[in-house]
Amino acid sequence: MGDDIGALDHKSAVPYWVVALFLAPLTLGIFPLVWWHKMCSRIGALGPSNGFSAASFWGWNVLGIFILIGPLVFLWKLCNALNSLREKSVA
Protein backbone atom coordinates (compact mmCIF):
# COMPACT_ATOMS: atom_id res chain seq x y z
CA MET A 1 0.00 0.00 0.00
CA GLY A 2 2.78 2.44 0.87
CA ASP A 3 4.50 1.79 -2.45
CA ASP A 4 1.27 2.37 -4.38
CA ILE A 5 0.59 5.65 -2.61
CA GLY A 6 4.22 6.69 -3.08
CA ALA A 7 3.95 6.05 -6.81
CA LEU A 8 0.90 8.29 -7.02
CA ASP A 9 2.07 11.26 -4.94
CA HIS A 10 5.84 10.86 -5.44
CA LYS A 11 6.64 10.87 -1.71
CA SER A 12 8.42 8.14 0.18
CA ALA A 13 7.27 6.52 3.40
CA VAL A 14 8.71 4.23 6.01
CA PRO A 15 7.83 0.64 5.00
CA TYR A 16 5.26 -0.87 7.30
CA TRP A 17 7.45 -3.87 8.14
CA VAL A 18 9.96 -1.42 9.65
CA VAL A 19 7.14 0.21 11.58
CA ALA A 20 5.80 -3.11 12.85
CA LEU A 21 9.11 -4.74 13.75
CA PHE A 22 11.20 -1.88 15.05
CA LEU A 23 9.33 1.37 15.62
CA ALA A 24 6.15 0.02 17.20
CA PRO A 25 7.92 -1.66 20.12
CA LEU A 26 10.19 1.33 20.66
CA THR A 27 7.28 3.77 20.80
CA LEU A 28 4.90 1.44 22.67
CA GLY A 29 2.51 1.24 19.72
CA ILE A 30 2.17 4.95 19.04
CA PHE A 31 4.16 5.16 15.79
CA PRO A 32 1.87 2.75 13.87
CA LEU A 33 -1.05 5.07 14.67
CA VAL A 34 0.92 8.02 13.30
CA TRP A 35 1.91 6.00 10.20
CA TRP A 36 -1.70 5.03 9.46
CA HIS A 37 -2.84 8.61 10.04
CA LYS A 38 -0.30 9.89 7.50
CA MET A 39 -1.15 7.19 4.93
CA CYS A 40 -4.87 7.88 5.20
CA SER A 41 -4.25 11.63 4.91
CA ARG A 42 -2.21 11.06 1.75
CA ILE A 43 -4.95 8.90 0.24
CA GLY A 44 -7.53 11.58 1.06
CA ALA A 45 -5.35 14.30 -0.48
CA LEU A 46 -4.88 12.30 -3.67
CA GLY A 47 -8.58 11.74 -4.18
CA PRO A 48 -10.74 14.07 -2.10
CA SER A 49 -13.83 12.98 -4.01
CA ASN A 50 -13.57 9.43 -2.60
CA GLY A 51 -14.55 10.63 0.89
CA PHE A 52 -11.58 8.98 2.59
CA SER A 53 -9.31 10.75 5.06
CA ALA A 54 -7.46 10.32 8.34
CA ALA A 55 -10.83 10.76 10.04
CA SER A 56 -11.89 7.47 8.44
CA PHE A 57 -8.97 5.75 10.18
CA TRP A 58 -9.66 7.27 13.58
CA GLY A 59 -13.42 6.86 13.35
CA TRP A 60 -13.78 3.42 11.85
CA ASN A 61 -10.57 1.61 12.76
CA VAL A 62 -9.76 3.05 16.19
CA LEU A 63 -13.12 4.03 17.65
CA GLY A 64 -15.01 1.49 15.56
CA ILE A 65 -13.40 -1.33 17.53
CA PHE A 66 -16.12 -0.80 20.12
CA ILE A 67 -18.82 -1.87 17.66
CA LEU A 68 -16.64 -4.80 16.49
CA ILE A 69 -17.38 -4.27 12.81
CA GLY A 70 -15.65 -0.87 12.57
CA PRO A 71 -12.24 -2.16 11.43
CA LEU A 72 -13.90 -4.16 8.66
CA VAL A 73 -15.72 -1.05 7.47
CA PHE A 74 -12.38 0.80 7.53
CA LEU A 75 -10.73 -1.88 5.37
CA TRP A 76 -13.64 -1.75 2.92
CA LYS A 77 -13.39 2.03 2.66
CA LEU A 78 -9.58 1.81 2.31
CA CYS A 79 -9.80 -0.72 -0.52
CA ASN A 80 -12.45 1.33 -2.32
CA ALA A 81 -10.37 4.51 -2.00
CA LEU A 82 -7.22 2.79 -3.31
CA ASN A 83 -9.16 1.21 -6.18
CA SER A 84 -10.63 4.57 -7.18
CA LEU A 85 -7.16 6.15 -7.09
CA ARG A 86 -5.77 3.37 -9.26
CA GLU A 87 -8.60 3.80 -11.78
CA LYS A 88 -7.92 7.54 -11.98
CA SER A 89 -4.18 7.01 -12.47
CA VAL A 90 -4.71 4.46 -15.27
CA ALA A 91 -7.32 6.49 -17.11
Question: Does residue 6 carry a pLDDT above 90?
Answer: no
68 vs 91: which has the higher pLDDT: 68
Local structure of residue 66 (DSSP, 8 states): G
Write out the residue range of the structural domain in which residue 34 sits: 2-90
Question: Does residue 91 carry a pLDDT above 70?
Answer: no
pTM to 2 decimals?
Answer: 0.88
Give 18-74 pLDDT, tens digit per residue: 999 999 999 999 999 999 999 999 999 998 888 899 999 999 999 999 999 999 999
Helix axes 30-46, 2-9, angle to 10 degrees: 40
As a whole number of Å, the CA-based R_g of the chain is: 13
Sign of CA dihedral 37, 54, 38, 6: positive
Number of separate domains in the chain: 1
CA distance 49 to 28: 35
